[in-house]
Structure 1
Amino acid sequence: MINNKGKMNKNLVLVMMLLLSVGCKAEKIEMSEVPERGFYSTRPATYWEESLVTGNGIMGAMIEGNPYKESVVFNHALLYLPIHKPLKPVSQGKYLEKVRKMMLEGKYTEASRFIVDLANSEGYSGKHATDPFIPAFRMNIQSDSTTVRNYARTVDFSTGEVAVKWKNDNGTFCRKVFISRPDNVVVIRLYSKGNGKINTTLNLSQVTTHDAGRVKKFSLNDKLGIEKVESTSIEKGLCFRAWYERPWEGSFKGYEGVVKVVRSDGQVQADLDKLTISGATDVLLLARVEPSSDMNNSKINDMLDEISTLPSDYQKLLQPHEKIHKELFQRVSLDLNATAADRTKSSEELLEAGGGNPALIEKLFDAARYNVLCATGINPPNLQGIWGATMTAPWSGDYTTNGNLPVVISHYLQANTPELMLPLFNKLESYMADFKVNARELFNCRGIYVPSRFSTHGLNNHFDTTWPMTFWTVGAAWYSLFYYDYYLYTQDKDFLQNRALPFMEQSALFYEDFLIEGEDGKYVFNPSYSPENHPVNSKSQACINATMEVMGVNGLLRTIIEASRVLGVNQGKISKWESMLAKMPSYELNENGEIREWMWKDLQDNHKHRHASQLFGLYDLHDPLIMENDKFRSGCKKAIDRRMEIRREDNGGIMAFGMIQLAFAASALGETETAYDMLKWLGNSYWNNNMVSTHDPKKTFNVDICGGYPSLVMKMLVYSEPGVISLLPCKPQDWTEGMIRGVALRGGILMKELSWTPQGVKVIFFSKTDQSVKVSLRGKQVKEIKLKAGQPMKYSF
């Protein structure tokens, strides 16, 4: 992990020395070789976070791009290292009244410490990190160094292909990599043109990245949690096996992988743990990684047998994959009228051009969606998507549900890719039994409780005195809103009936039991938690009535009532939910007129923080209690302005996903300049030259804003609710001309095209049903239109 600028600069110097030592000349790449929807980079990775990435949602690969000392790291969506055996949640529920009493007395830290002490008495030994996401292995491709000219590495967003290309005195050399969706194999082609021959060795090695915090964070020994590994060669192939040191019942016990040479016009020689290829001009490798539940029953031969049935032709493997991948990627496109010259710049040049450059915004819009598309399959993207080349991923590379995960999935529905939401729902539903245990053990409640972090199970085992995450209760409500939003976009009533409503009902059950009435007859959220922040006048993050939690439950109750009426069910329960809505505490403003983050007595707002949780009601589907109340709209704007004061001091500062939350809220309120400032900051500082985002400025590989960036762009150009469409609600003045195609809208509408010039606005809608819609432009209502089912309808404004 690159943790400081000095180390980054050192690595950059080393790479430049390498390129100079092999005679690299800075010549312009032939633009015909640059993908139309993609990018090129003019230098190899200086550290693993700059590797080019590709994936099929099951496996991922990271390619550094060094001509003569290549590293290809293989990843798999299910490779989480067993560190802590899942534990029954702490019996907080047995002592809930005691905890609540302590909280009401203002003993917030004492309440947090009480739960930690209780957990330790019940078998917890300190803080339990979630099981970390880990790489499978590294394939090293090594050749004798010589000159390098016309170097470039590229990514084609439309096909998922990564390429590394260069010339030397003998000819042109190229590597191409993609991961097939239909065949689930990593496809690697090495080829040369001219007189050059491929003479190289291949071997597989364990990734053993060390960092200073490794032992402290995970208490791992020098084996890095891996008991042993075997790396061997077979005829025209390589095999890798790894045994986990601490498997628990129900976890995987290790993993296996193979790399097979399926075509070579040169010699291939196996020797111990490596393959030597000589005299070749075209080599095709196929690879696969699989987790294992039984390391005594190897699947190596099965993988090799399956690979042997596949074509040994690159194009025949690419075509069926490209058909699937391209169709998903190209459903939405953005054109901000960037100059041709800017569109042909390298990634390094574009990033230097600044976050407001139209070509960079177009490129990041595509790159971000590409990254998340490649990482979505078995699971939704984790903090690192589906990639990583460290055994100690920051925050375990897990699913952080209290902010990160909602941001990375935020554009799926807008981008007309609703099927990419299904892995999220599958993951949540696979942990329903654990969520019910959480609700029962932590709060004596029916229903479900979604924890703030999870990876290999859904039990809430991760908390401590500083981070009292057993007090955060809005998880189930928040994810219920995503279920309902899926229905609003797709109008899929089967999904609503069979998946969304059952999840929402289990969520509502929890709040029916958890919420208690205060002296004024309004519900009290006790205990409560506003993610990772604490009031100015309290050292503890534990609190009562976090505004985020109130907003989340308000949203759940509104939408479960709507969903029940759509389906004509739950007639006997609707009145109960309406009664609960009436008892919800009203949002509050502080003495400065800002929306409060904690609606409890004298808890004072703390704006020097990376999250913006009190703006929860403006992240996605807008909260009518805010949007229809001038006082609360103004209060949210003032809270945004205060958070922006802190952000402006550092041109964005740390934690990009928190900035996305803030920008979503600004966009919802039509605060164009504020939202645009944040979009520019995001482009300025939070991407590496591989066009993958970072958590903080230029450090910590993290894909959160790969979901949030395109979502923000689309929110600035269009917002929708059933029966309501707002065009260009937050379009910056800099975007004088432009076009976006393929944006999905709530109500089962596809905005096939929205274009604008100084002369006017044109839009094409395509509706699944006959319906009337009120359309506004830049916040002012223009007209009510009648859409006909199945007919593209064109309008000009």
Structure 2
Amino acid sequence: MKLMYKKPAVAWTEALPIGNGRLGAMVFGGIEKEHLQINEDTLWSGSPKESNNKEAKALLPKLRQLISEEKYEEADQLSKKMMGPYTQSFMPFGDIYFRFHHGNLGRNYVRELDLQSAVSRVSYCVGNAAYKREYFSSFPDQALVMRFECSKPGLLNFTASFSSSLQAEVFNDDTDLVLTGYAPKHVEPSYVMADDPVVFEEEGGMNFEGRLSVKHDGGNVKWKNGQLIVEGASKATLFFTAATSFNGFDLSPVKDGRDPSLYSKEDMKKVKEKSYEELLQNHLKDYQHLFGRTSLTLFSEEDHSSLPTDQRIEQFGAKDKQLVALLFQYGRYLLIASSRKGSQPANLQGIWNDQVRPPWSSNFTLNINAEMNYWPAEVCHLAECHLPLLEFIEDLAVNGANTAETNYGMRGWVAHHNSDIWRQSSPVGNYGDGDPIWVMWQMGGAWLAQHLWEHYAFNRDKTFLQEKAYPIMRDAALFCLDWLVKDKNGYYQTSPSSSPEHKFKLPNGKLAAISSSATMDLAIIYDLFTNCIDAIEELKLIDDIKVDLETVLDHLQPYQIGKYGQLQEWIQDWEDEDVHHRHVSHLFGVYPGRQLTENRQSEFWEAAKASLNRRGDGGTGWSLAWKINLWARLRDGNRAHQFIANKLQLVREDDYNYHKGGVYPNLFGAHPPFQIDGNFGFTSGVAEMLLQSHEGFIHLLPALPEEWLEGKVTGLRARGGFTIDMEWERGELKTASVRADHSGQCQMKVGSGKVKVQSEASIVENDKGLLLFQTEAGKSITISLESTSYVSRT
């Protein structure tokens, strides 16, 4: 469970990430010159602003008329008048540089990130002295902690300094080195106007402050000319704390902001009162409580863990089963490091960004990427890490209600394809510069609402469902009820509608973005409405909306199968802009939805297979990850494994082949450039290959590939409140342990082999081939298969 290298990082995508949900750092591990690039998750450009378009409501009927007349090119142009401003950007906080006074001639160099402890380490020798460094970002103590040691007394000598790409200054404050500054008032997205200067205005940008301090054994320390200097020491513990003036998504960080200095000082005071050993133990107890819940072992006769991680990727890829397991756990590590109680949700790059113009603003992209970030949260036993997204959704619904009314004159709440720390819910596009193919998509809120239901489905917290989840889900459904229009055949349609970022070809050969009832719209609305109905029944509510939801579901535009046997992506069987397009939006009903299964609407389930095959085996990093999840749901473990192999290809910093997704040397997911959703989607995909529970029963090893003949997994979660441990041999389930959070009933699919139950539970097999048994809260039931007739792949 280590990422390991034999040389320092040169590129940012070779550095190793640490984080506590709020404070992140990329550790380069240089010998003479060390570099930590720092982020704080609330440091964004801009401030709350009015982003709704008051002209949009009047334009909507005309836009719908153009669509009904099949004037799609004209509809695209008119829709540009309905756009709002671009979102703001996630900012780099700054950099800490260390210059060690021992030169650069090191030997026996090792740099690593230990996933078991969430500690990054660097070790090497210079002369006859051994040097060791440790870095971690502590959630309980809200600080970056750095420990430097030398085996020879008095030979630890270094200088520390700050730098920032933002408007900032550095000064000494008693025993702290201080970096203070402010973020830009506005940053255009890097893919739109990258050459334009960012706009810094003291009255419009967020303030921030970071502090660096030290405790040392031996020698002396001094602060001089904006530097911290340690001389003649044997050990030194350094602390970094930081804060911004962010005070809420709806408050100006300038006029209504908090004083970041008060918070950075207070955190520094608290952390310096503790010893390094106490800080490390606090960190380990907190982190391992989360990380240690789930483990994965893929048994292999070959062990390549002594090789540097980048060499393992390059030489072996998915053939290195331990590397596959490492990448699975890396996704869990990154989620813990970027999404904790009280933090912002993980953005497009988690919490790690070194650019003032980050790719796609490093924002919350709602047409796949933000949701994918949280696919592993529940199934991989990190429900607490899901909370920042759920709280984000609650905030976004507030702004989304204003957008629904202002832009469309409708009830409920809506969000579009991009958002930011200010919870922008309106369609982006700089009031007309954007492309409708990614701007004019009104399903962001409806998709996000799925996460509220999933959190309940896995944990069965009815208080959460009643007080938090259902009211937001209901309002998202209200918007969709108003958004739908009835066509001449009596079907409910969405209009305008797009299939995110993928255009269709018109008979004249031209491309268009907007039509009506793209398949993804139908799938998301089906998912939202059925989840709302299930919530009403779970809570035993009397709610008139249930009749409306059921009526619409009965008359929702049906799915269609196209001329290639594929699940149609649009209302008509148009040709694709790109048959190998990275988005597979029309397959939402397979994953992450639960509408299309082998046992329900199986003809469309088969059509989904045809669609996925037509998309091919390539794609960006996150696209490859989505396809792992889809092939797992389609129960083809070997196809899913092919995408794991495609994902485990090495991408270097200067590789911008848009269709060559893979991983960078530090295992970050490559779009390229870096997007963290590829990491999270990979982790959820592996989990989905091993365990599924979306059909109302637990399915063990539903998509086990032939390459994973022997393995063991512990701590996966199933809907209904179950924790599952499994072991398999020769591609067949050997044992499974089921621990229930609640007393009740459980259904499980374990195949047709003879089953021996090692517990007092009574198990019967129903007419669907499912094992049915009663559970008792907090107790486990262990099942073992005696027969070899069960092959999970079939």
TM-score, scaled to structure 1: 0.87
Contact 2:390 2:451 in 1 (8 A): no
**Deviation for aligned residue 1:233:** 2.2
Shifted more, 488-497 versus 427-436: the winner is 427-436
> Is 2:633 the counterpart of 1:668?
yes
Please show how residues 756-775 of structure 1 align to structure 2 within 5 Å: 756-757=729-730, 760-775=733-748
- The aligned counterpart of 2:452 is 483
**Deviation for aligned residue 1:782:** 5.1
Return the letter of the residue paired with 1:315. E
Work out which of the residue numbers 33, 49, 53 in structure 1 matches 2:13.
Answer: 49
SS in 2 for 1:94: helix
Return the letter of the residue paired with 1:272. N
Contact 1:449 1:507 in 2 (8 A): yes
Distance 2:540 2:48 in 1: 45
> Is 2:162 the counterpart of 1:197?
no
- The aligned counterpart of 1:303 is 264
SS in 2 for 1:285: strand
Unaligned 5+ residue runs, structure 1? 1-36, 208-225
- The aligned counterpart of 1:139 is 96
Work out which of the residue numbers 725, 735, 743 in structure 2 matches 1:752.
Answer: 725
Q: Deviations over 1:485-518 (max 9, x none)?
A: 1111101111111111101110111012111100
SS in 1 for 2:319: coil
> Is 2:561 the counterpart of 1:589?
yes
> Is 2:322 the counterpart of 1:359?
yes
Q: Deviations over 1:271-327 (max 9, x none)?
A: 111122111111111111111235998543653354233334211111112111111
Distance 2:703 2:570 in 1: 29
Please show how residues 364-379 of structure 1 align to structure 2 within 5 Å: 364-377=327-340, 378-379=343-344
> Is 2:661 the counterpart of 1:695?
no
Return the letter of the residue paired with 1:166. Y
Change (3 A) 1:695 1:245: closer
Change (3 A) 1:613 1:627: farther
**Deviation for aligned residue 1:104:** 1.9
Please show how residues 515-554 of structure 1 align to structure 2 within 5 Å: 515-537=484-506, 538-554=510-526
Shifted more, 494-503 versus 565-574: the winner is 565-574
Contact 2:72 2:512 in 1 (8 A): yes
Contact 2:715 2:724 in 1 (8 A): yes
Unaligned 5+ residue runs, structure 2? 187-200, 246-252, 651-661, 754-767, 786-794
> Is 2:582 the counterpart of 1:610?
yes
Distance 2:258 2:568 in 1: 57
Please show how residues 601-680 of structure 1 align to structure 2 within 5 Å: 602=574, 606-624=578-596, 627-644=599-616, 647=617, 652-653=618-619, 655-680=620-645
Change (3 A) 1:250 1:795: farther
Contact 1:722 1:746 in 2 (8 A): no
Contact 2:629 2:686 in 1 (8 A): no
Shifted more, 246-255 versus 256-265: the winner is 246-255
Change (3 A) 1:117 1:481: closer
Distance 2:6 2:30 in 1: 11
**Deviation for aligned residue 1:695:** 1.6
> Is 2:671 the counterpart of 1:706?
no
Q: Deviations over 1:373-398 (max 9, x none)?
A: 10112122111100111111100000
- The aligned counterpart of 1:417 is 382
Shifted more, 187-196 versus 327-336: the winner is 187-196
> Is 2:646 the counterpart of 1:681?
yes
Distance 1:235 1:574 in 2: 64
SS in 2 for 1:743: strand
Change (3 A) 1:373 1:544: same
Distance 1:234 1:734 in 2: 59
Task: Output the aligned Cα RMSD.
Answer: 2.4
- The aligned counterpart of 2:299 is 337
Distance 2:748 2:615 in 1: 32
Contact 1:53 1:63 in 2 (8 A): yes
> Is 2:715 the counterpart of 1:727?
no
Work out which of the residue numbers 783, 786, 790 in structure 2 matches 1:795.
Answer: 783
Contact 1:667 1:715 in 2 (8 A): yes
Distance 2:472 2:444 in 1: 12
Q: Deviations over 1:244-276 (max 9, x none)?
A: 342799976221111111334222121111122
Please show how residues 79-90 of structure 1 align to structure 2 within 5 Å: 79-82=43-46, 85-89=49-53
- The aligned counterpart of 1:21 is none
Change (3 A) 1:300 1:548: same
- The aligned counterpart of 1:459 is 425
Please show how residues 430-449 of structure 1 align to structure 2 within 5 Å: 430-449=395-414
Work out which of the residue numbers 160, 169, 189 in structure 1 matches 2:118.
Answer: 160
SS in 1 for 2:379: coil
Distance 2:82 2:172 in 1: 51
- The aligned counterpart of 2:40 is 76
Change (3 A) 1:103 1:383: same
Contact 2:519 2:586 in 1 (8 A): yes
Work out which of the residue numbers 220, 234, 241 in structure 2 matches 1:288.
Answer: 241
- The aligned counterpart of 2:284 is 322
Distance 1:66 1:747 in 2: 48
**Deviation for aligned residue 1:348:** 2.1
SS in 1 for 2:504: coil
Change (3 A) 1:68 1:131: same
SS in 2 for 1:617: coil
Contact 1:598 1:605 in 2 (8 A): no
**Deviation for aligned residue 1:620:** 2.5
Contact 1:622 1:668 in 2 (8 A): no
Distance 1:250 1:776 in 2: 61
SS in 2 for 1:488: helix
Shifted more, 512-521 versus 246-255: the winner is 246-255
Contact 1:787 1:793 in 2 (8 A): no
Identity percentage of aligned residues: 25
Q: Deviations over 1:145-191 (max 9, x none)?
A: 24211111111212221111111104111221111111101111111
Change (3 A) 1:604 1:309: closer
Distance 1:268 1:602 in 2: 70
SS in 2 for 1:343: coil
Contact 2:523 2:593 in 1 (8 A): no
Please show how residues 232-271 of structure 1 align to structure 2 within 5 Å: 232-246=171-185, 253-271=206-224
**Number of residues of Structure 1 aligned to a counterpart in Structure 2:** 725
Return the letter of the residue paired with 1:593. G
Return the letter of the residue paired with 1:137. G
Contact 2:59 2:82 in 1 (8 A): no
- The aligned counterpart of 1:511 is 480
Change (3 A) 1:339 1:134: farther
- The aligned counterpart of 1:169 is 127
Shifted more, 386-395 versus 474-483: the winner is 474-483
Contact 1:383 1:703 in 2 (8 A): yes
Distance 1:250 1:435 in 2: 27
TM-score, scaled to structure 2: 0.87
Change (3 A) 1:660 1:779: farther
SS in 1 for 2:638: helix
SS in 1 for 2:553: helix
> Is 2:366 the counterpart of 1:401?
yes
Contact 1:383 1:405 in 2 (8 A): yes
Change (3 A) 1:187 1:592: same
Distance 2:711 2:460 in 1: 29
> Is 2:232 the counterpart of 1:279?
yes
